[in-house]
Amino acid sequence: MTNAPTAPAAALDFYFDFSSPYGYFAAEQIDALAARHGRTVNWHPFLLGATFKLTGLGPLPGIPLKGAYSMHDIARSARFFGLPYRQPSTFPIPTQHAARAFLWLHGRSPAKAKAFGLAAYRAYFVDDVNISDLGAVLDIAAGQGVDRDELSAVLAGSEIKAQLAAEVEQGIARGVFGSPFVIVDGEPFWGADRLPQLERWLQDGPF
């Protein structure tokens, strides 16, 4: 007797802000982690600034005691994960341009969007490129084979702005308030330090 065919396992939803170092650490690992358990990943660009208004929280560096620790923890966590990292000269930064570029690319090819996303993360957190700058975002996209002029025109329009705003609003409605944030089968996991719990969930099922 054979098992009845089952529906394919649902994709993970991965929310990230391009200004989030822990988001970068997760972006470098999440697809491989999911693939180990027969899952795929939907990447969702997110803007932490939109949640700061709701939670009353703010960027890490400005918080007494916690800010200094966090800068230390970020660099050590990169080494713990075996990832290259250099503290950006300007941190944090607004990431609307990068998020909108990602979203537009994602509508054409999720794989190309992910390649751009990793390139943007590495530019910011390894090569100290300030990706809040529109020109830097266009350069990175062009380096991934994207038509620079076409993307430039898209980012100047209002449609992609509305799309990103809707994407962020949808994330908040699902409870997203940080980066990285993963939702799998309705279960939320916040932080690169929750990847071990996520992996156990994927491997053994709900615990």
Helix (H) or strand (E) holding 43: strand 41-45
Instruction: Measure the CA–CA gap between 67 and 113, rounded to whole angstroms.
Output: 31
- Tell the smallest beta-carbon distance from residue 55 to its own copies (Å): 5
Q: Contact at 8 Å (CB) between 140 and 119? A: yes
Instruction: Give me the helix-helix angle, 110-125 and 134-143, nearest 10°.
Output: 120
Judged by beta carbon, residue 53 or residue 89, the one nearer its own copies is: 53
Subset of residues 152 to 181 that bind its own copies, contact rule: CB under 8 A:
172, 175-178
Segment lying near its own copies (by CB under 8 A), choices 9-17, 35-43, 144-152, 194-202: 194-202
CB of 159 to its own copies, least distance (A): 28
The residues near 156 (Cβ < 8 Å, ≥ 6 apart) are none
Single out the residue of 56, 90, 76 nearest to residue 193, CA to CA: 76
Q: Is 108 in the site for its own copies (CB under 8 A)?
A: no
The residue within the footprint of its own copies, chosen from 36, 66, 108, 148 (CB under 8 A), is 66
**Could you list the residues that contact its own copies (CB under 8 A)?**
51, 54-57, 63-66, 68-69, 72-73, 76-77, 79-80, 172, 175-178, 188, 190-191, 193-194, 196-197, 200, 207
